[in-house]
Structure 1
């Protein structure tokens, strides 16, 4: 044991734990967690009683068009205006430009404590598989310091109306993409759209992550259908519904019914507080963010993510998961010190459960050695005061120290 320790973190304070612990790491794995581990190690790091959490997992991003925010003088506000900015930006760069902006964004979120991301990648008739092939290269090139899981995203294309769109989606999966994405609300036949999605997912053994009901219109009711299709196809535990904004606009009785089906289908729900407030919350009510409290109370696995990174859908997006936690607490009135522990877990362990991107995620023996040491002693302090990310550890190695990248 003594010669196996590569990194020994001393005096780390874990979420909801009173006493500090030491964390022994060998290679990419945590091999021991306990008080007073007095064993020699190649490197020792004193957390000095600071809160130490698993690395953030940003479960919903769009790195393929990061930093395509357009002219700062014209801030888009609707889906249609935002899409125009995105398309204009995509036309202005080539595959190398996609790679460069995506890698730069990944480095920035790493400095914020994010050690893994699930990113949706456009697969559409505008540029075919260009962005996807570029992002597959980015995934390989960043593997030493960032885990990436790619979602083939046919953007705003109606799969039931275009054989070409479906063909591109299937080609994307042939390239080794792990997750099938989509936007069933844009299709005049959402049920037919979902049938195509499940057919593709089952053929390639893939998970599913769809943009669902990203609107304040209470008549937008794809989430319930998605839950029913999940159970019909035996896909419980393999499905994510992102956004689900309309759930906040439903009447209470219908909302309870939908939430019960979501729980039965073992779906995970991803709230995207930055973008959904930016795009949807222009008129005050209903709030553009899904029903976080009610979903949590029902036992649904709920996650938050940062979504858009300085692009046409949210020019203000900066990929900071800790800021997203605070923003979500503000918008959904999640108060009380105990809720902040839940918030940190939503961005770490709940995100790991939703995506499956990191096996054995968490600070435990056998866990993946992805950690963030925050300059705070408690979860509420870290979120409220936006604690500095003192050290970020990825795959057992210190990759960020006091704001400086070491990669």
Structure 2
């Protein structure tokens, strides 16, 4: 007795739905997929894009085919807030290794774990400075190159201090990081003696290079958040703040005013439903809720959801699963299942500056097929997944649950007993 619910990877079978299909002309047809609106369709992919969407059986049999009967086909999620350089270090004896080889290995493994969950792109925050200098960033950039064709990885350069005498070295190193290939500038202004000065420095450098900005803040100071928003307003390609969990502890009227200020400035918020990425107070008596997503979205703020820590000191059981982040938002009542999925897909893509994805002709072929019929169901129990990046299958997870014979007999007996 079996069903596709428990994560037991199985080898691919010829013609099976999890097959790594290829064809000489590069075309791929996804057959019998269910869409979120209830339609069952065939989808033809080519050249990294969706070429056509038609009713089931209507598309000519060109190229390889993947049977998606029983699967829900969705725009692929992305991971907007990762820390790949420190990922997978929770089990280390003593301080985790920061050698470039270990950082590159951990980054690659973390990105592949996220890809297996469905995230075809991710943004990873990388600390620079101190004794490590730029070596961790260099290792992450090397991992990015090795992942090309499987997943897209953007690196955020994160200096500790940018103001005063001590900040001069941090600023010089930040400039070098951008030259090396860091495409986003970030950091935690709350740790700098002059938070506003830190933000101003980041915004000025980002303006010089046309880089996005992604800053860490707990967000428990409404005046500071308002000032960040005022300083950031109008910067393009954009500013993101996260995780902003402190907003959940503000009086609702105060949080609403802050949300309006963030919306007016065009600042996005990246919340972390699985927990903060610093580990502060995680084991204490106060475990904070994520940022108030429903309130922020009502004010017009673009809200993305990320996973944050992936099995490091901040969260030794972090999964790096976008669908879990969406599940937690829905289970906390911060979003409907559909809106929660949007925070890890459409909103997360927009926050990262990636092209929009729809299951329609002409859009990028960045897709996730999940065993199930509706978004609420796949957020609740979604193990079997097929991941498509740039028009080809790049990852799959097949899950099988089995019961022993006696358990099966009990399961069959229950309906008869209930009718008595």
TM-score normalised by the shorter chain: which range applies?
Answer: 0.7 to 0.9
Q: Show the counterpart of 1:67.
A: 88
Q: Show the counterpart of 1:345.
A: 342
RMSD of Structure 2 on Structure 1 (CA) = 2.2
1:56-135 matches, within 5 Å, as: 56-70=77-91, 88-89=95-96, 92-135=97-140
Q: Pick the aligned partner of 1:397 from 380, 392, 417.
A: 392
Q: Show the counterpart of 2:168.
A: 163
Larger Rg, first or second structure (1 or 2): 2
Q: Distance in 1 between matches of 2:369 and 2:386?
A: 5
Q: CA deviation at 1:334?
A: 3.6
Q: Distance in 2 between matches of 1:62 and 1:403?
A: 27
Structure 2 unaligned spans of 5+: 1-23, 400-420
Q: Show the counterpart of 2:29.
A: 8
Q: Which whole-Å deviations, capped at 9, do the CAs of 1:41-76 have from their partners, x for residues lacking one?
A: 11111211421111110000011111111458xxxx
Q: Show the counterpart of 1:364.
A: 360
Secondary structure at the counterpart of residue 65 of structure 1 = coil
Tell me, yes or no, if structure 1 residue 328 matches structure 2 residue 329: yes
Q: CA deviation at 1:196?
A: 0.3
1:133-172 matches, within 5 Å, as: 133-154=138-159, 156-160=160-164, 161-172=166-177
Q: Distance in 1 between matches of 2:287 and 2:255?
A: 14
Tell me, yes or no, if structure 1 residue 27 matches structure 2 residue 47: yes
Q: Show the counterpart of 1:300.
A: 301
Q: Distance in 2 between matches of 1:282 and 1:276?
A: 12
Tell me, yes or no, if structure 1 residue 248 matches structure 2 residue 243: no
Q: Distance in 2 between matches of 1:131 and 1:71?
A: 18
Q: How does the TM-score come out when normalised to structure 1?
A: 0.86
Q: Distance in 1 between matches of 2:246 and 2:397?
A: 41
Q: How does the TM-score come out when normalised to structure 2?
A: 0.83
Query: Structure 1 residues 260 and 207 mapped into 2: Cα distance closer, same or farther (>3 Å)?
Result: same
Q: CA deviation at 1:362?
A: 3.0
Q: Show the counterpart of 1:376.
A: 372
Secondary structure at the counterpart of residue 18 of structure 1 = coil
Tell me, yes or no, if structure 1 residue 259 matches structure 2 residue 259: yes
Q: How many residues align?
A: 373
Q: Distance in 2 between matches of 1:131 and 1:389?
A: 34
Q: Distance in 2 between matches of 1:298 and 1:316?
A: 33
Q: Distance in 2 between matches of 1:230 and 1:364?
A: 34
Q: Distance in 2 between matches of 1:42 and 1:34?
A: 16
1:36-47 matches, within 5 Å, as: 36=56, 37-47=58-68
Q: CA deviation at 1:237?
A: 5.8
Q: Distance in 1 between matches of 2:101 and 2:26?
A: 40
